[in-house]
Amino acid sequence: MTAPANAADYREYLERTGRDDRASFFVVAEDSDALAGVVEISDIVRAPEAAGSLAYYAFTPYAGSGLMREGLMLAIEVAFGQLALDRLDANVQPANRRSAALLERLGFEREGIERRYKIGTRWRNHERWTLRSR
């Protein structure tokens, strides 16, 4: 997941957020109202098991501040409550240990490695992490 780089990218991002198969959340620093990060639940399917794919990123000044953990916890509450999902999946590049550790602290379980995403011109392996509703 990458942040929109220009006005056209941002318009396209906003159009995607209105679709029924996704939910988007901004993580905002309470003390300054600054945008700290973004959380997305995409590819929402309803049957036979309601599930979605979780993606997120923090903006540099807020990485490691705990705001993304808090924002993800709130998004997970919405996913399992209002959206009535049974499962969330997240895919993380193996070298991204901070992100994997965050998912683990949130209760996600590592399910294995997949060669799934093309980043730039190369296919990259990703760890698949899953959280099931309680």
Q: Which residues contact residue 19 at a Cβ distance below 8 angstroms, ignoring those fewer than 6 apart?
A: none
pLDDT band at 9 (very low <50, low <70, confident <90, very high): confident
pLDDT digits (tens, 9 = 90+) for 22-78: 999 999 998 899 999 999 999 999 888 899 999 999 988 888 899 999 999 999 999
Residue 80 contacts residue 89 (beta carbons within 8 Å) = no
Domains of the chain: 7-132 (3.40.630.30)
